[in-house]
Structure 1
């Protein structure tokens, strides 16, 4: 019996991380992972289509173990300073005869959100249903069957620059991966799926996904998301500061950051770091001072994006692996802070139990609806031709009618409806076939 293979691709500035998995009965089984250096991507945006396409293809091929595995579905995570959000509210009348909230009334409210217009250079990417209200009674999560005259839907809409996402889609397609509506998820949302607990959302939390060149932000209040955006700063800015202040090559500064970048005490430097420190007549204390200055700036910028004063801060992404960052964040911002690790991941999966994989595992959880992730198995990967009837149901359940373009297909899960960018159809030459 053939099995569907799904690819979850986190397109980052420094790394392209891919998880290839199978999904069944709310359990995702990881087949393989890919982690390659990004090429042709700067600040979360494509700057060289050919290089970026090659990087994506390499990451997927690595995750497939070098075999010719057929991917049936792709979910792509993205970041970039162009990410924005808004919180629209729409109202519809309930059933005239029964004055009851029906499924059709809920769908009509969702359609109104989908039909909201944006500037020509912006597109709707993800929509999260925050809450409903019936006759102005707020805080309702499931209004179906309730009595009332008017239904209000309060949503959170994540938007992005059309050209930026269209370029990512072009590279993904040229890498030989299938794309359809619902294929894109903003990294702050996927990270939230991966590392946040319900208690975090209820108590009020700001999540920061610190990447190489950008920091994605998602803010939750009273259990619902209220803000999504991204800052144009990340871990590479720390490296750039070290390179400029110490007058050393960028690559050397990166190694210095990773080897003696503890924010509090000297954990010791390896041989290479010791040689660099000696060669450039500097000390671990000076390195720490430079790193702390930039991290403090990033932390304060993160807090400034919050529309209210949250109680907690969860740091994730590769930049959150800096030793001592949670203690430093509490000291600087006065909030409870922790580093968010992917949940539902097997304890023996050392690679995935790292904040750098928060977005990738979040894509997996988001795209499959899984509540549990199983580690790799040793079964041989074979190329499988799978018909439409074998598409994974948790992913496509609730799909609306497919029309031209990718922006017109939305699927629903509890609390979440999302659709991808409106991308023009491409011919075979554009796909490199």
Structure 2
């Protein structure tokens, strides 16, 4: 396999770090390798220990490398969290060509103009996503290249993040001896793959319920219009099981994965299991119904908080449905419970690829889709982040622009 045909996504989550290898051939994507490792050093989606996070990244990448038999040097890194913010901005430039034909340079200049926003010193721009272009007042244009005009405008969503959180994430990846090919907003990438064109246009909330956090992304008129992160997820369910059954957290997680059911009415009383209690050498038997009585209230709370957050964002009446993803929603009974609590149409998004048919892989596979479509087409020039051919740069290599300078311009490729 040629390295030019390979895209690797790195999903650094609270419970797992996942490295997914995608091979691009004739415009089609095949998932050829998946590496997964327990995530250490992450709490509620935030990095709390650099060294442990670095080791988790290395373990996941090594696992993926052994599966495929290649060395991974470049990765697209997913970013999310409650520090992410969205704001709309407008850019205007005059077309520079004498024949008034809009070219790449004009598009680049108008995107740079849209990045001129006032930000607090602790925040920085990590992405820019054009909503539409306008040529001499004509709106609704998705790609103005080759058109004739005098005035070029863009309406764009500026993605900002906290410098501390962003730099710590990138620092961990660099310390794992990996080159960052791009930074991807995970909710944006997941939405491009998990939602249909109609869902993105008519108004849909994508809810990613992970272990430590729940990320909500609202899409309307084809664009991401709001995002929010709630500090609650599958870990809370595990902790409830641990307290309820008086057992170790590790055993509670295994029980949840094997016997967990989100609704009592869907649980089977004849499905029984034994649990070693804390402070005792005696095992006690429980049924799936007992377990569901612990899980259901917490899952109801998660969906209640999601509904509250949608209302707080002001999109309660604009959303036509919900799409669920993330490892927690793979549990039995989640879909009917969500439909009852959210009082709307709900479906679960699962990647349609062998080996990753699990909601937990939606973000990682979505990043590969997003990178292949928006971030690689012009990676050989312009302002795209260039790739290196090996993990560690040679000491004799010429000096390159700073990483964060390159990342600031990266999302200008998303047109």
Task: Calculate the aligned-residue CA RMSD, in Å.
Answer: 3.3
Shift of 1:358: 0.5
With normalisation by structure 2, the TM-score equals: 0.82
Higher relative contact order by CA 8 Å / sep ≥ 6: 1 or 2?
1
* Pairs within 5 Å for 1:26-175: 26-65=27-66, 69-94=70-95, 101-146=102-147, 150-175=151-176
Q: Secondary structure at the residue paired with 1:56?
A: helix
Shift of 1:305: 5.5
Shift of 1:292: 3.8
* Pairs within 5 Å for 1:24-423: 24-65=25-66, 69-94=70-95, 101-146=102-147, 150-180=151-181, 183-244=182-243, 247-258=246-257, 259-263=259-263, 264-267=265-268, 269-272=271-274, 278=285, 283-284=290-291, 286-304=293-311, 306-308=313-315, 309-343=318-352, 345=353, 349=354, 351-369=355-373, 394=377, 396-397=379-380, 399-400=382-383, 404-409=401-406, 410-411=409-410, 416=414
Q: Secondary structure at the residue paired with 2:405?
A: coil
Q: Distance in 1 between the 2:381 and 2:191 partners?
A: 23
User: Are the structure 2 counterparts of residues 277 and 336 from structure 1 closer, same or farther at C-alpha, using a change threshold of 3 Å?
Assistant: farther
User: Are the structure 2 counterparts of residues 174 and 407 from structure 1 closer, same or farther at C-alpha, using a change threshold of 3 Å?
Assistant: closer
Shift of 1:112: 1.4
Shift of 1:94: 4.1
Post-superposition CA distance 1:349-369 (Å, at most 9, x none) = 1x3011000011112112223
User: Are the structure 2 counterparts of residues 132 and 159 from structure 1 closer, same or farther at C-alpha, using a change threshold of 3 Å?
Assistant: same
Post-superposition CA distance 1:301-342 (Å, at most 9, x none) = 452354422102111011221223232222222221100112
Q: Distance in 2 between the 1:277 and 1:315 partners?
A: 34
Q: Secondary structure at the residue paired with 1:130?
A: strand
Q: Distance in 2 between the 1:212 and 1:408 partners?
A: 32
User: Are the structure 2 counterparts of residues 292 and 177 from structure 1 closer, same or farther at C-alpha, using a change threshold of 3 Å?
Assistant: closer
Q: Which runs of 5+ in 1 are unaligned?
A: 371-391, 418-433
CA contact (8 A) 2:128 2:412 kept: no
CA contact (8 A) 1:239 1:254 kept: yes
Q: Distance in 1 between the 2:268 and 2:188 partners?
A: 34
With normalisation by structure 1, the TM-score equals: 0.79
Q: Distance in 2 between the 1:97 and 1:334 partners?
A: 57
Q: Which runs of 5+ in 2 are unaligned?
A: 278-282, 386-399
For this pair of structures, how many residues does the alignment match?
388
Post-superposition CA distance 1:173-215 (Å, at most 9, x none) = 12121125xx211221221133122121122111111111112
Aligned to 2:24: 23
Q: Distance in 2 between the 1:125 and 1:101 partners?
A: 26
